Amino acid sequence: MTQVTTAVPEKPPLGVVPPLTGEARLREAWPSLSAVSPVFGTLGWKLLRTGFLAPLGWPLLGIAFARKFAPWICARYTLTNRRLMIQRGWKPSPVQEVRLEEIHDVRLDEKTIDSLLISGTLEILGDKRRLLMTLTGVPEPAGFKEAILFAVRAWGRPANVVDGPFRAASEK
């Protein structure tokens, strides 16, 4: 008879930790090249699309890529079970944060969607449609928006504050 042993992980899987116990990262995104360096990134992509001016676009995109990971500039958007943060630096430290309880809606700015980089700008809204935070150049913005809204529903507000009545999945 063989004995099966299961290893207990040192850290629980992402998102499983209740906010009262500890903070767990749910999702993280690095801004796109056009958001990090709007002049070099945008111009580089436009030159690349022309085809014959592509050799001029590559160095501009290289500059934008280097700026994306520069230690004093690099940024990332981090969603945890307690808050949404903009962090900077190689060892990330929050420069701006919003608690999940304060978030009432997330809006995707349709004008800023870049179909080549699949990125866009998310606006985090509080009560009375007040703008709390702007996340520019978010890769796959629709997915990140849904992750924020799911985190707000799951961890942010009490059940009696969540909009609308409960509907079972079978009712859809």
Strand partners, 133: 124
Question: 41 with 34: CB under 8 angstroms?
Answer: yes
The type of residue at 32 is S
pTM of the model: 0.72
Structure tokens at 153: 């529903």
pLDDT in tens, the chain (172 residues): 555 555 544 555 555 666 667 788 889 998 887 676 666 667 776 787 788 888 888 787 777 777 767 767 788 899 998 899 999 887 888 999 999 999 999 999 888 887 767 888 999 999 888 999 999 889 999 999 999 999 998 877 654 444 555 565 666 5
Alpha-carbon distance of 27 to 34, in angstroms, equals 21
Smallest Cα–Cα separation from 32: which of 122, 95, 114, 145?
114
Rg of the Cα trace of the chain?
20
Looking at 1.10.1370.10, 1.10.620.20, 2.30.29.30, 3.90.105.10, the CATH number of the domain 25-31+71-157 comes to 2.30.29.30
